[in-house]
Amino acid sequence: MSLHDERHPLTPPERDDKRPWTHGGVAPTGTWADVLKTTLQRLITLEHSQTHDGNRLFLHRLNKDLHEPNLKLAPFPAAVKQVDHMMKRDNADAFKFSKLLETDPALEHAVWYQANSVQYSRPANSLRGAIARLSQDNMWRLITRVAIESSIWHVPHMQPWVDQQRLHAVVVAEVAAHLANQVRCKEYVAGLLHGIGRLSIYRAAVRHRRSPAPETAFVIQICHQFYPVIGVLIGRTWDLDPSIVTAMGFHNAPTKAPEAGKKSSWMIHIANIIAYTAAAEAEGLESDGREILAQMKGVRFDMEEAFDLAHDALSEAEAFIAAQHLNAENQSA
């Protein structure tokens, strides 16, 4: 699904997995300090038990990154906070949106891309004209998604893997917002960020330089175990809404989620299954997702409608990422 042919040795191999959503862990409850302390202790214990130097050094780097005040990540995008503030104060307009788009070329490209889609008979002739074609809620979604992707989702030498994570996240976000029956909602943000903990893990994994590389299977194992709790640490560092943070940590086991974030955790859990299943169906692969969803007790939603939306979101996200790569190539030419 990516335009890039290079494949980093640590890229997880493609597998015929009918239930990929079952491999993730669950974050512990407690204060930020307690969760951090527990996580660091687990990583140290694992580090000391390793006989493979690459695995041991990888865990050491990850532990060191989590000791940093910002967890060695960029700050939460200011554009996301600003557009949310504008919408809550109900003072958003084309001028304010255009000023916000100036802060990141990726945002401006995204608006031009959306405003010049095939549904319009002629291209927009100005940025404000492009903005006028999109609803304020759609502008909120576009800025929220693209600002997060542009400023945060980067792993050196692993762009195809990053693209896959972005694709999955945006489909989860779209489906979660659909299940919540809202355009602008916390579930959308939680969907975009539910797997962000993987970012820290793979950034630590690829940074081996002249030291031995970790084993691919070991990195996958650590990612499954730790990405939810690292996501919680990231969410709390960014001071995100508690329901978003809870969904990031408990979407793999929503029954264990604290009451305040249980509903959002269930939304992301269901959307995650739908997104994985839609991706498998698009590739002609088998998946148990529809069967699992049909057997869920107390969960009611229009499954066909949700899957139609997921497939549409997947196709649109693939086209958008391809357009971003093409734009980047043209800029560098």
pLDDT for 229-261, tens place per residue? 999 999 999 999 999 999 999 999 999 999 989
Task: Phi first, then psi: give them for residue 6, nearest 5 degrees.
Answer: -70, 135
- Per the domain annotation, does 333 fall within a domain? no
Q: Find, among 185, 208, 171, the residue nearest to 316 by Cα.
A: 171
The residue out of 118, 151, 184 marking a domain boundary is 151
Per-residue pLDDT of the chain (333 residues; tens, 9 = 90+): 344 446 899 999 988 899 999 999 999 999 999 999 999 999 999 999 999 999 999 999 999 999 998 999 999 999 999 999 999 888 888 899 999 999 999 999 999 999 998 788 888 889 999 999 999 999 999 999 999 999 999 999 999 999 999 999 999 999 999 999 999 999 999 999 999 999 999 999 999 988 999 999 999 999 999 999 999 999 999 999 999 999 999 999 999 999 989 999 999 999 999 999 999 999 999 999 999 999 998 888 999 999 999 999 999 999 999 999 998 888 876
Clarify whether residues 144 and 197 are in a common domain. Answer: no
Domain around 296: 1-75+155-323
- Per the domain annotation, does 332 fall within a domain? no
Clarify whether residues 222 and 102 are in a common domain. Answer: no
Residue 269, token pair as written in the block: 């859990």
Clarify whether residues 144 and 162 are in a common domain. Answer: no
Q: For position 202, which CATH number holds?
A: 1.10.3210
Clarify whether residues 284 and 245 are in a common domain. Answer: yes
Clarify whether residues 219 and 304 are in a common domain. Answer: yes
For the stretch 167-212, pLDDT in tens is: 999 999 999 999 999 999 999 999 999 999 999 999 999 999 889 9
Helices 105-115 + 303-332 axis angle, to 10: 120
- Per the domain annotation, does 328 fall within a domain? no
- Determine contact, residues 229/39, Cβ cutoff 8 Å: yes
Q: Find, among 96, 98, 36, 92, the residue nearest to 226 by Cα.
A: 36
Clarify whether residues 141 and 160 are in a common domain. Answer: no
**Is this model's pTM higher than 0.75 or not?**
yes
Domain count of the chain?
Answer: 2
CA–CA distances in Å: residue 213 to residues 20, 55, 156: 25, 7, 14
Q: Find, among 224, 222, 237, 215, the residue nearest to 62 by Cα.
A: 222
